[in-house]
A = this chain, B = another copy of it.
């Protein structure tokens, strides 16, 4: 039996930040991580050249002050995603180059997308971030899927596809998976439409030297022995004295516990006393999105030679969104593609060879036949990750916010809840993970 002040469950960014802040505040803290690695939904991968890319979350950007502050504390530096040259769209069977964020659609489609974006942002800006349910029209928007709003608001087929792409890019989910209120909230929590979708001045602007998992690796190094790997918490029991946690191979005790795991994982921890029915029911309604992150490594970034940025958006799947993920200072080129939502579930059933073939075909469609012959290919199906079971974050379906989802942030006895899904700004992002950690730490410290 191990005793300590606070146990943090989950060694992702949220859990490790919480543990580190508590340790700095003089608390005896222990971190229990289910996997044999730290990082949560960040995961570095070494290419054959030794260059490091990420199979999980990778970007930071402006207004993400909490994660940027943490990077500073950890002496981690950032560098910009490659963002020069023409972007491509593949719509209506044709490849078209464009600059900036708005593809060269026909004037009709362009007007349609812009009017919808304006309507979206007018609503989005009104959402109270601490609890979207407080908006007077919350009930209406929370009883509607994003798919329904798209169908009603966009007048052109191509315009609708642009918003479907956005749903995949931002949520790793299809529009039918999402409450429209949640989409309004999430985009506003991410500083608005242009910021959450953008590269320059946006959420995809910067990358982290050495790979984003370094955030967790650095925090874990500072925490030392306090981090226990391979300790999936299966059961916990709390009473007036403290909390006892049971892993596959150990039993731990603490005064308080911060649970920094995705909502669907909370369901899988047997609790005594039983988690109240309403909490369990709400966690049942927070499924993870699904994404397969795919990368091909080439001798050189050949698309740049043709003035292309490596960024493509497409109405044809399975890879509908790509980026140039090459490393500065390295001769090689890396194309990054995402398979999202329903398509991610579908392609996760296939072999890696089949995925490799279809992903490279997509890359070739956008960037030419050279894309078919990479030095190496790697992908990661996050739905298959044992203690994440999806990504980027939980997708709130209709009805969740307006029936009290904000209350899931509240402590339950000696349990406190962190993780990016409990954040009010940049939910689903690194920044939200840090916000959630700091709120949970404040609760624990206030409790004495």
Contacts and interface: CB of A to CB of B under 8 A. Distances in A.
Given A143-B148, A148-B145, A285-B287, A398 B277 contact: no
B277 A345 contact: yes
A390 B267 contact: no
Interface string A135-167: 000000011110110010000000000000000
A281 interface: yes
A71 B213 CA distance: 59
B148 A384 contact: no
A276 interface: yes
A39 to B, nearest CB: 18
Interface string A378-392: 000111101001100
A268 B234 CA distance: 10
B176 A142 contact: yes
Given A145-B144, A148-B143, A342-B403, A284 B288 contact: yes
A248 to B, nearest CB: 9
Contact of A276 (B151, B268, B384): B384
B288 A287 contact: no
A221 interface: no
A348 B264 contact: no
A277 B174 contact: no
Contact of A148 (B144, B264, B290): B144
Contacts of A151: 143
Contacts of A145: 143-145, 148, 398-399
Contacts of A287: 281, 284-285
A398 B348 contact: no
Most buried by B among A274, A278, A404: A278
A264 B284 contact: yes
A357 to B, nearest CB: 19
Contact of A346 (B179, B278, B390): B278
A177 B264 contact: no
B264 A267 contact: yes
Interface residues of A, number: 48
Contacts of A61: none
A301 interface: no
B345 A177 contact: no
Central interface residue in A143, A176, A268, A278, by most chain B CB within 10 Å: A176
Interface string A259-273: 000001001101000
Contacts of A175: 143
B143 A176 contact: yes
A57 interface: no
A349 interface: yes
A71 to B, nearest CB: 31
A151 B290 CA distance: 30
Q: Which of A142, A143, A174 has the most CB of B within 10 A?
A: A143
29 contacts: A143-B147, A143-B151, A143-B176, A144-B145, A144-B148, A145-B145, A145-B148, A147-B398, A176-B398, A176-B402, A177-B398, A234-B270, A264-B284, A268-B270, A277-B345, A277-B348, A277-B381, A277-B384, A278-B348, A278-B383, A281-B383, A281-B389, A284-B287, A284-B390, A285-B397, A342-B403, A345-B404, A346-B404, A397-B398
Interface of A: 142-145, 147-148, 151, 174-177, 179, 232, 234, 264, 267-268, 270, 274, 276-278, 280-282, 284-285, 287-288, 290, 342, 345-346, 348-349, 381-384, 386, 389-390, 397-399, 402-404
Closest 8 CB pairs of A and B: A277-B383, A284-B287, A143-B147, A176-B399, A143-B176, A277-B384, A278-B345, A176-B398
